[in-house]
Chain A
Amino acid sequence: MATTVAGVHAVPKSESGLWSWITTVDHKRIGVLYGVTALSFFLGGAPNVGWFAYSNLTSSQYSPGHGVDFWAVGLQILGIASLAAAFNFIVTIINLRAPGMKLMRMPPFVWMTLVTSFLIILAFPVITVALVFLLFDRFVGTHFFVPSGGADPLLWQHLFWLFGHPEVYILILPAMGIVSEVLPTFSRKPLFGYPVVVYSGIFIGFMGWGVWSHHMFSVGLGPLADSFFALTTMLIAIPTGVKIFNWLATLWGGKIELKTAMLFALGFIALFTMGGLSGFMHASPPADLQQTDTYFVVAHIHYVLFGGAIMGVFAGIYYWFPKMTGKFLNETLGKIHFWATMISMNLTFFPMHFVGLLGMPRRVYTYSPNMGFDTMNLLSTIGALLLGASVLVFVVNFVNSIRNGKPAGSDPWGGGSLEWAIPSPPPSYNFATIPTVRSLDPLWHKEGREAALAANQVRGPIHMPPSSYWPAVSALGVTLLLSGMVFGWFVGIPGLILMLLGLYSWAFEPVT
């Protein structure tokens, strides 16, 4: 992220330390955080309630132990972190652009980050409230989701999906932004219909709020609600389709270079389109009733989130790794990684469409031998093992390339956006002086390129915001405070004190 908003004033924030981890949008770091979160499995037992944790499976009665508590408290902490990061991005993107960097000259990844940040600040409060109810139910004995107390367990589903559907766009929009940067660079052509790509991203962000109940057709919402949510769900396919055609048109007639980043971006388009098509199928309530809770839905979510978001993230890693580290990722290993991923991904998830339509339910670990699921499941299993192996190829490539990768210059791919004008890895101040931007792809224009390169010359002292430990102290305090809900007051009270100490010291820190 830091590299793509190069040339924009950065707001004071620590580049390292706990706060940077907690507010990170770097997917490597998020991966590590998930690993840490997984520790809770050993501390309190797995939150084995599925990812959408429908009530009343999550009640103390059906989920004793601390698994669900950890899950809920962990999500609250993650929510605070996501909110803090999203506020930061919104203000940075709206208010601290380089001179001449009009909104419609921003790189598409920055645009999609802006839309995503708005989705975060509006969607996370809803899940926060739902989790608060759940925690009250579990700790205090309220009955927000307890049917015997008169409650409607559907409330959880509505609140969850009010968050959950915007959340899937929170996952996919940044990947769409990455692909919109990678494709033009390796096609040597500007992004086709840039404004339309941006507007459809914004439209997806808005429409993402009007479709949540399509996850709940099978609960029987009534014909009016079913028709409404089916209609909005079909509508939201339009801006997504528009983007796909824009990407294809970007490729059309371009001088295409099949580097690994480009391969992943192309893989994204292919797989995400397939995921979109199966998604469109269960936009129709009658079809959805047949598909709900079968492997068909599992196939769909993996085509959009693995084929979509993960392929996009890999494209981004191969694309910006040279900028981040100053070294290339190995292209040969990269291509092996791509093809292994592409083949094994389809091998794993494509058969799920068939077993799903044959009626194999999700979340049930076994089935009787005469159902006709055997061969397909064997293929999926082989595919899953291969998929794991392909990620290992990536890990080897990553570690090797950080150690002794081929040096990459400041502009290894001939990109058009500003980050390619500064050295790799970028100096902490990005540009020494902030260049004036006059076009969408400044480095592909003679005067833009000269201005950006000239902006690297250090002409005097550079003002850098001071680093501070207090944000990290506050973050630790928040984490302990909320963990206190599980462990008890002797963790929570010190957490509260630390948080207040951190916040006050941070607020009254002298500004330089």
Chain B
Amino acid sequence: MAVAALSHPAPEAHPTSTGLNSRKMLFWAFLGSECMFFGSLISTYLIYRGRDSAGPHPHEVLNIPFTSFSAFVLLMSSLTMVLALAAVQHGNLRGTKIWLAATALLGMTFIAGQCYEFTHFFYDGLKLQSNLFGCTFFVLTGFHGTHVTVGVIWLWSLFMMAVRGKLPVERALDVEIAGLYWHFVDVVWIAIFTLVYLIQ
């Protein structure tokens, strides 16, 4: 609320005490908070692992080759995400659109894979209510999938902004922050892939 702010119309241009952008700082604090969220979910999964007497058990249903592919897809979407950021930072509108769409499509591939996986488990007899593995697995990966879905919606929103020419270099931060979210969702999957799928 400063007179000095008159000459700076964009919110990014406000002088700040640290010289850092406020939105980006808030987003990092948010990701710190998200660590605690996923950490609690993962701890619960690990605490309850191996307590089930009734199946299906993880080693009976988890499909490592398939999930490795999903993990790879999500990893590649992180690459396309940073390429989208590099494009928007250089004012390359065409590249921005291509890489944003590619990231969103890879994210949708991941979600489709998760839908397939969940359906498959369902027919293998693993439901949310089956046993502790069912409870903890579906809630943990389900919340991760929800995060990916939110990210996909966010990416398509940015894509629409780019299509309508509303994503110039000055708004690169919008893409950068969406990217932070996307990469965070990716690193959470890195942790889940190792702790849930590979270490059974």
Contacts and interface: CB of A to CB of B under 8 A. Distances in A.
Given A95-B18, A144-B135, A459 B3 contact: yes
B196 interface: no
Contacts of A224: none
A505 B67 CA distance: 37
B29 A9 contact: no
Contacts of B143: 132
Nearest to B11: A511
Contacts of A88: 26
Contact of B51 (A140, A142, A150): A150
Contacts of B165: none
B44 interface: yes
B194 interface: no
A122 B131 contact: no
B47 A155 contact: yes
Interface stretch (A46-54, A285-293, A427-435): A427-435
A143 interface: yes
Given A95-B18, A461-B6, A141 B29 contact: no
Range of interface residues on B (Cβ < 8 Å): 35 or more
Contact of A463 (B2, B16, B22, B132): B2
Interface string A98-139: 000100000000000000000001111110111011001000
A91 B23 CA distance: 8
Contacts of A429: 1
Given A95-B17, A150-B53, A463-B3, A121 B132 contact: no
A95 B2 contact: no
A141 B3 CA distance: 57
B184 to A, nearest CB: 13
A110 to B, nearest CB: 13
Given A101-B17, A460-B3, A122 B32 contact: yes
Q: Which of A95, A97, A150 has the most CB of B within 10 A?
A: A95
A141 B33 contact: no
A133 B132 contact: no
Interface in B1-44: 1-6, 9-11, 14, 16-18, 20, 22, 25-26, 29-30, 32-34, 36-37, 40-41, 44
A143 B135 contact: yes
Q: Which of B9, B32, B44, B53 has the most CB of A within 10 A?
A: B44
B128 to A, nearest CB: 6
Contacts of B79: none
A88 B157 CA distance: 24
Contacts of A11: 22
A91 B29 contact: yes
B16 A95 contact: yes
Contacts of A144: 44, 132, 135-136
Contacts of B2: 9, 433-434, 463
A87 interface: yes
A150 B52 contact: yes
Nearest to B40: A129
Contacts of A133: 44, 135, 139
Interface in B30-75: 30, 32-34, 36-37, 40-41, 44, 47-48, 51-53
A94 B9 CA distance: 22
A433 B17 contact: no
A94 B30 CA distance: 15
Interface of B: 1-6, 9-11, 14, 16-18, 20, 22, 25-26, 29-30, 32-34, 36-37, 40-41, 44, 47-48, 51-53, 128-129, 131-132, 134-136, 139, 143, 157
For the complex of A and B, list the 5 residue pairs with the smallest distance between their C-beta atoms, beginning with the closest.
A125-B37, A129-B40, A125-B36, A121-B33, A142-B135
Given A12-B11, A130-B40, 16 more contacts: A88-B26, A91-B29, A95-B22, A122-B32, A123-B36, A125-B34, A129-B37, A129-B41, A129-B44, A142-B134, A144-B132, A149-B132, A155-B44, A155-B48, A433-B2, A511-B9
13 contacts: A91-B29, A94-B18, A121-B33, A128-B37, A133-B44, A140-B128, A141-B128, A144-B135, A151-B48, A461-B3, A461-B6, A463-B3, A511-B11
